[in-house]
Amino acid sequence: MPLLGVIGGSGLYDMQDLDISDTLKVDTPYGPPSGSYRIGRFAGMEAAFLPRHGASHRLQPHKINYRANLWGFRELGVRRVVSVCATGGINAGVPPGSIVLPDQIIDLTSGRMSTFYDGDEVVHVDFTEPFCPDLRDRVRTASEAAGVPVIPSGVYICVNGPRLETAAEIRTFGAWGADLVGMTLMPEAALARELEMCFTCIAVVTNFAAGIAARKLTVQEVLDTMKTTEGKLRSLLAKLLSADLRSPRCACRQSLKEARL
Ligand SMILES: [Zn+2]
């Protein structure tokens, strides 16, 4: 049973370090996930990898079946998920190439299936701290062990896309306290909480957001920065996978306790 699930964002479509033993298609009550889950071993740890946008990046952020992706991990027995996201930096403190471990989220998405509870059952999960503190801490420890510098906190604002933001939007987001802008962390993080999974994010800053860089933004810039950061990201994930991730020191498994009406 894989101990860790890894969701790969733009530019991270496989995990070369993983010794793949299985590629599994998983059926879910919510439809198909973004692709097949690649199950493999690394340093004695079994992990499952899923590229969020599909293997050939065919899914736009608002078209991703976030519920199916998370449910699929659960079906495989995964209870802890690390989500890798490409983001834009909203201030000079997070230049392209930075790796950030966000600790907060602002959600501006709309029209996405954002809960497993859209039937008769009423559930309000606590989301004060949107990430598992234990898994975040383990990623930070892994980054130190791997010699990969990370920015240990930051506010991720999630927009709907697929268009990029205006300069005025980015100025506003900055005034709200956001450090990073992206299109995919929500509802992913909230759905993981509803499934009582440990979930945390490794955000790669691939470009300065609109108006911060005094030029037009291009997708090529995102992919180029992801490519140059990929080595650091792989070292970090390898260290994380070689650590013992059993016995979580968190309350994620009790997220639904006291959440039902
Ligand atoms: Zn946890």
Compute, in angstroms, the gap from residue 222 CA to the centroid of ligand 1: 30
Q: How many domains does the chain have?
A: 1
Q: How far is CA 241 from CA 41, 174, 252, in A?
A: 9, 34, 20
Compute, in angstroms, the gap from residue 5 CA to the centroid of ligand 1: 13
Compute, in angstroms, the gap from residue 135 CA to the centroid of ligand 1: 6
pLDDT at 14 over 80: no
pLDDT at 149 over 70: yes
Compute, in angstroms, the gap from residue 37 CA to the centroid of ligand 1: 22
Residue 91 lies in a domain: yes
- pLDDT interval class at 247 (50, 70, 90): confident
Compute, in angstroms, the gap from residue 224 CA to the centroid of ligand 1: 33
- pLDDT interval class at 12 (50, 70, 90): confident
Compute, in angstroms, the gap from residue 217 CA to the centroid of ligand 1: 36
**d(C-alpha 90, C-alpha 29), whole Å:** 38
Residue in the block written with tokens 């070369």: 16
Residue 259 lies in a domain: no
Compute, in angstroms, the gap from residue 58 CA to the centroid of ligand 1: 31
Compute, in angstroms, the gap from residue 101 CA to the centroid of ligand 1: 15
Compute, in angstroms, the gap from residue 212 CA to the centroid of ligand 1: 35
- Residue 82 DSSP SS3: strand
Compute, in angstroms, the gap from residue 80 CA to the centroid of ligand 1: 7
* Structural domain boundaries enclosing 191: 4-254
Q: How far is CA 190 from CA 53, 65, 108, 115, in A?
A: 18, 14, 13, 8
One-letter-per-residue 3-state SS of 177-220: CCCEEECCCCCHHHHHHHCCCEEEEEEEEEEECECCECCCCCHH
Residue 53 lies in a domain: yes
Region 25-40: mean pLDDT is: 94
Query: What is the CATH classification number for the domain harbouring 145?
Result: 3.40.50.1580
Give the predicted TM-score (pTM) of the model. 0.94
How many Å separate Cα 149 from the centre of its chain? 18
Residue 189, phi then psi, degrees to nearest 5 = -65, -40
Compute, in angstroms, the gap from residue 81 CA to the centroid of ligand 1: 9
Residue 11 is predicted with a pLDDT of: 66
Which residue in 54, 28, 39 sits closest to 2, CA to CA? Answer: 39
Compute, in angstroms, the gap from residue 192 CA to the centroid of ligand 1: 10
Residue 261 lies in a domain: no
Compute, in angstroms, the gap from residue 14 CA to the centroid of ligand 1: 24
Q: How far is CA 220 from CA 11, 56, 134, 207, 216, in A?
A: 10, 16, 35, 10, 11
Residue 200 lies in a domain: yes
pLDDT digits (tens, 9 = 90+) for 95-131: 999 999 999 999 999 999 999 999 888 899 999 999 9
Residue 136 lies in a domain: yes
Residue 69 is predicted with a pLDDT of: 97
- pLDDT interval class at 21 (50, 70, 90): confident
Residue 260 lies in a domain: no
pLDDT digits (tens, 9 = 90+) for 49-69: 999 988 777 888 999 999 999
Compute, in angstroms, the gap from residue 86 CA to the centroid of ligand 1: 23
Range name among 164-168, 180-184, 223-227 with the lowest pLDDT average: 223-227
